[in-house]
């Protein structure tokens, strides 16, 4: 069950375990890995504790993490158990065919129920903020890159008496701190985000951002997991929903259906592209064959003319 208690070495929650992958429900406020000798509690160490026989000594951390989650973010995290599996999963993330959806509580009541956030994001070079990202146009914003997030409102409610909104966030790109920066940019920062509130939002026990859904379209069997919703009154009584607009389960199902349709169209387009390339190659071979035949016939006619002349 979800809990507000801090992580421990034994508290690793496994969502899926196959020959090639382990998907865990990462605890909040725990690093995936660390090179610091004094940092003993990481997902890496939790995996070593639970599955010592699966650690790969040829890798620095013992396990191959297919993607990243921030220190403060909880939820679905995919770990590959061999190099080939890691490569297949990495390609899905690189090609943006993997589907990720996050649950979050954000400050204030978000009025626009569905919206696409498209603020380019770059590194903040301002003094004292070099560990942060920022949107294009912000003072000190370096090398901003295009960035897209889909936001869907699920519920309006209160957290410790303050207005908050429960939202589903789908990152369509993978920039550092993307969801946190985008929510802050529209005036609805994530509850408990100490960094992007400049240290002001420190009362909640955690940052309220959770990787709820992960789908990786591997062949022949895609990976699909859902990490339990931690933003429920039964888990944290300080959160009091007041007005439900959409059910998280139905919203996620609709998202998956849309993504599956997009993936089907993408594969059809890829097959059509390959077919056209093959047709062009065949056409080129036929043209070359025809030209070669015409040249052979011309040479033959010349030879016959010369022979007749003799």
Question: Can you tell me the mean pLDDT for 18-31?
Answer: 96
Digit-coded pLDDT (tens) for 69-117: 999 999 999 999 999 999 999 999 999 999 999 999 999 999 999 999 9
Are 105 and 203 part of one and the same domain?
A: yes
Domain assignment present for 289: no
Phi-psi region of 67 (alpha: psi -120 to 50; beta: other; left: phi over 0): beta
**Do residues 252 and 213 touch, judged by C-beta distance below 8 A?**
yes
Active site residue 70: yes
Are 246 and 152 part of one and the same domain?
A: yes
Domain assignment present for 124: no
Q: What is the CATH number of the domain that holds 47?
A: 3.30.2350.10
At 48 the pLDDT is: 94
Set 19, 25, 56, 70: catalytic member: 70
Number of folded domains that form the chain? 2
Band of pLDDT at residue 277, cut at 50, 70 and 90? confident
Domain assignment present for 101: yes
Residue 52 structure tokens: 């010592």
At 118 the pLDDT is: 96
Query: Which of 138, 131, 135, 161 minimizes the C-alpha distance to 70?
Result: 131
């Amino acid at each position: 069950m979800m809990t507000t208690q801090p992580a421990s070495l034994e508290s690793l929650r496994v969502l899926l375990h196959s020959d090639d992958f382990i998907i865990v429900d990462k605890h909040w406020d725990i690093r995936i890995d660390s090179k610091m000798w004094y940092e003993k509690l990481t997902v890496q160490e939790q995996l070593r504790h639970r599955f010592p026989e699966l650690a790969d000594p040829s890798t620095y951390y013992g396990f191959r993490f297919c993607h990243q989650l921030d220190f403060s973010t909880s939820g679905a995290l995919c770990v590959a158990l061999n190099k080939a599996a890691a490569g297949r999963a990495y390609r899905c993330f690189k090609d943006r065919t993997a589907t990720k959806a996050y649950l979050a509580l954000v400050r204030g009541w978000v009025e626009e129920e569905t919206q696409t956030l498209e603020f380019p994001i770059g590194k903040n070079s301002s003094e004292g903020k070099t560990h942060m990202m920022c949107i294009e146009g912000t003072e000190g914003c370096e090398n901003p890159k295009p960035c897209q997030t889909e936001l869907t409102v699920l519920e309006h409610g209160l957290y410790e008496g303050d207005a908050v909104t429960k939202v589903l966030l789908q990152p369509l790109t993978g920039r550092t701190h993307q969801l946190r920066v985008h929510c802050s940019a529209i005036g609805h920062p994530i509850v408990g985000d100490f960094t992007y509130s400049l240290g002001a939002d420190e009362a909640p026990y955690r940052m309220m951002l959770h990787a709820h859904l992960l789908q990786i379209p591997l062949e022949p069997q895609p990976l699909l997991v859902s990490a339990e919703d931690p933003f429920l009154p039964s888990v944290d009584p300080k959160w009091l929903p007041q007005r439900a607009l959409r059910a998280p389960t139905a919203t996620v199902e609709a998202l998956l259906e849309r993504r599956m349709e997009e993936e089907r169209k993408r594969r059809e387009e890829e097959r059509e592209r390959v077919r056209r390339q093959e047709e062009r190659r065949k056409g080129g071979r036929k043209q070359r064959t025809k030209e070669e035949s015409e040249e052979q016939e011309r040479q033959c006619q010349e030879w016959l003319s010369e022979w007749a002349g003799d």
